[in-house]
Amino acid sequence: MAGNTSVAAQQQPRRQFSLVRCVATCLLALIVLVGLAVLIAWLVICPKKLVYTLENGSVQNFNLTNNHLNATFDFVLRAFNRNRRISVYYDYIESTVTYEDQTLAFNTVDPFFQPHRNVSRIKPKLVALNLAMSPSTSKDLMIEKTSKEIQVDVHFKARIRLKVGTWKSNHRTLRIVCYSVTVHLSWYKHFDRVPCEAEL
């Protein structure tokens, strides 16, 4: 009787070990399958970065008096979706012009849908209306004004969704920054394109 109890006690740990090994094997197989599915999906979709370039920029009605700025900024942002299977919903876009970390103007852009392998152009108009500036920033801006051009940074912040077939992602925040953009106060001056940095 004691011998039977000893054999049963030995078999119980073995069964527990077999069960643990079975569960571990199933989990490992599941992880491998999910990994393969993700890899295959990535190879099929082959995602590529969205490319942004500031094609044009200008400023009109520029007037800086008593540390208060009035101006209208116009920009053309070229958005290139290089992907063959990924489309993009731009549900909300805001654009900002800054000078020495001070915001000069802000505006929003109408939402739009960008198909795959497509070039779209975003054309924000940003107005500074009697904007109060710090004396030091105002002084620097006046110095640049004498050269008939000023250098600003242009920012875009967008809430986007990606679309592959019928699947749509949740909202993601896309940040685009175009650094050291030279806008001319003389309309006939040539605008040099500026590549922009994008972070998704």
Geometric angle at alpha carbon 101, from 56 and 111, rounded to 5°: 50
Question: DSSP state, 185?
Answer: S
Q: Which residue numbers in the chain have pLDDT < 50?
A: 2, 7, 37-44
Helix (H) / strand (E) containing 10: helix 2-45
Into how many domains does the chain fold?
2
Q: Is there a single domain that holds both residue 92 and residue 55? A: yes
Distance CA 50, CA 22 (A): 44
Q: Is there a single domain that holds both residue 39 and residue 76? A: no
Q: Shortest CA distance to 44 belongs to which of 84, 16, 7?
A: 84
Collapsing DSSP to helix, strand or coil, 124 comes out as coil
Report yes or no on 76 lying in a domain: yes
Q: Is there a single domain that holds both residue 55 and residue 40? A: no
Q: Is there a single domain that holds both residue 29 and residue 87? A: no
How many beta carbons lie within 10 A of that of residue 167, not counting itself? 7
- Which CATH number covers residue 82? 2.60.40
Q: Is there a single domain that holds both residue 35 and residue 83? A: no
pLDDT value, residue 41: 47
pLDDT value, residue 73: 96
Q: Which residues contact 43 (CB under 8 A, 6 or more apart)?
A: none
Report yes or no on 153 lying in a domain: yes
Q: Is there a single domain that holds both residue 33 and residue 100? A: no
pLDDT value, residue 20: 73
Q: Is there a single domain that holds both residue 104 and residue 152? A: yes
pLDDT value, residue 166: 92
Report yes or no on 150 lying in a domain: yes
The pTM of this model reads 0.79
Question: Tokens at residue 187, please?
Answer: 């309309």
Q: Which residues are 153's β-sheet partners?
A: 98
pLDDT value, residue 80: 98
pLDDT value, residue 40: 46
Handedness of CA 181, 53, 171, 74 (dihedral sign): positive
Handedness of CA 114, 43, 196, 131 (dihedral sign): positive
Report yes or no on 56 lying in a domain: yes
Token pair 């919903």 in the structure block, residue? 89
Q: Is there a single domain that holds both residue 59 and residue 141? A: yes
pLDDT tens sequence across 125-156: 999 999 999 999 999 999 999 998 999 999 99
Q: Is there a single domain that holds both residue 38 and residue 53? A: no
Residue numbers of the domain that contains 121: 49-199
Q: Shortest CA distance to 155 belongs to which of 49, 77, 72?
A: 77
Collapsing DSSP to helix, strand or coil, 25 comes out as helix
Q: Is there a single domain that holds both residue 31 and residue 65? A: no
pLDDT value, residue 46: 60
pLDDT value, residue 86: 94
Q: Is there a single domain that holds both residue 190 and residue 150? A: yes
